[in-house]
Amino acid sequence: MVLITGAALAALGENVSVKQQREREAELLWRGGQIARAIESYKAVPVNGLSQYPATLADLVEDRRLADPRYHLRRLYPDPFTGQVDWLLQRDEQGGIVAVRSRSRQPAMARLGTPALPAPGPAGEAAGAGVDAVVRVGDWLFAAGGAAEASDD
């Protein structure tokens, strides 16, 4: 009886862990998407005829480039995996933020924006699908004008 109860509790714990991982991934997709849309919105507002990317994430919350401030993002959202506003930023040549991604190196359960693997080999395994093929949530790039995708970093 103790063995069966222990196995049932272990299975329940694993299901809860999987559910929490999926919820964090869904939240990361939403928050990353919000930031990407805010970056796009910021760039769409030309100042002196020039469109530019934000220098900081705080510029998305309150854009003071014009006389009337604009608000492209409600607040700075923390990364659901780290709990901090510590996004990795990708910048353009002028130093503007063009995309963000999570610092987390946790393997992702969802497989979005990942390139298709080659056809399976004779033993049924996909060619090149070794340890390096693991997609991590930190590989998801949230860029202005695009959906979340796996980054090349």
pLDDT digits (tens, 9 = 90+) for 45-62: 999 999 999 999 999 999
Encode pLDDT of 6-46 as tens digits. 766 666 566 668 889 999 999 999 999 999 999 999 999 99
- The residue extents of the domains of the chain are 2-150
3-state secondary structure of 49: coil
pLDDT band at 140 (very low <50, low <70, confident <90, very high): very high
Q: Which residue has the tokens 């939240």?
A: 27
φ, ψ at 20 (rounded to 5°): -65, -40
